[in-house]
Amino acid sequence: MKKPIILTIIYTLGIGCLSICIGALYPVKNTDDTAEAINIESKIPAADDKNESKQEGNAADNEDDSKPSPTLTSTPTLSPTPASTPTPPPVYELTEGGYPEIEKFFHDYYVAWNSCDYSLIKTLLTDPDNAIPLPELQKETRFLDDIRDSVTYVMKSYEENAYIVYVYYELKYVNIKTTLPRLDKFYLVNDDEGNLKIFTSEMDETLKNYFDERDQDEKVQSIIQMTNEKAKEALNNDVDLRVYVEALYNIKP
């Protein structure tokens, strides 16, 4: 039986925000069948939209129904209304790395998430009130040992100084050998002082559609599929990891 597994880090903030939780912001879930692996933040490995963020889980994989599968979570779901929106908005290429400031930002973000530094996390959001609730963050990180092997994928938005960011990483839990792959999605903007912030405010319809549609891009789909496959393999091959994840997210076998 298919089980929707939801976060961000994001949080959604996901962090998407986690979604998000890992996103440590509550990352949100995408409502299409694009992927399951973005953002485990609010409920297990997967990624979708965050503002609606708190995960409306979407399992995209029709394989083994008996194992939990990751979900896609996008961190921010809400976003500002652009003063002038191109018709149609331009689509930019997804790149791996190449943005040192963005990579450092998410390094700091996940360090704060792993250490459950709620105060710091809220300073990284455009609307701190939309951060993942502290009790959920504490639950997510209680037995989290480390966040490893992160890779940042960045795509420019049609809005100036704004980016759609996918972050791949692996969760290492205490006393569990196998790491759990996860993918978080964020909308990243610069505030009035030029500081990077995860967008957790309200998105207008144009931006939200643009944000969601990027999950269909070929490179993004490849990353989502890769994350889903690795997460499924980890859960299938490590009973301890699967049992822990099922207990953490109240998944019935």
Residue 15, in any domain of the structure? no
Give a yes or no: residue 253 inside a domain. Answer: no
Name the least confident of 48-52, 195-199, 220-224.
48-52
| 235: CB partners within 8 A, 6+ apart | 67, 68, 69, 180, 241, 242, 245
* pLDDT over threshold 60, residue 119: yes
H or E stretch including 232?
helix 218-237
- Reported as a pLDDT band with limits 50, 70 and 90, residue 118 is very high
154 within domain boundaries: yes
Domain range for 122 is 28-248
The region of weakest confidence among 51-55, 166-170, 203-207 is 51-55
pLDDT at 44 over 60: no
185 assigned to some structural domain: yes
Amino acid 126: pLDDT: 96
Q: Which residues contact 34 (CB under 8 A, 6 or more apart)?
A: 58, 60, 72, 215, 216, 221, 224
Domain assignment of residue 46, yes or no: yes
Q: What is the pTM for the complete model shown?
A: 0.69
Q: Is residue 45 part of a domain?
A: yes
pLDDT band, very low/low/confident/very high, at 115 (cuts 50, 70, 90): very high
Overall domain count for the chain: 1
Provide the pLDDT confidence category of residue 22 given band limits of 50, 70 and 90.
Answer: very low
pLDDT tier at 78 (50, 70, 90 boundaries)? very low
Sequence-distant (6+) residues with CB within 8 A of 169 are 22, 110, 147, 148, 149, 150, 151, 181, 182, 184
Mean of all residue pLDDT scores within the chain: 75
- For residue 109, with 0-12 CB atoms within 10 Å meaning exposed, 13-18 middle and 19 or more buried, which class applies? buried
Per-residue pLDDT averaged across 97-109, rounded? 94
Is residue 195 one of the residues assigned to a domain?
yes
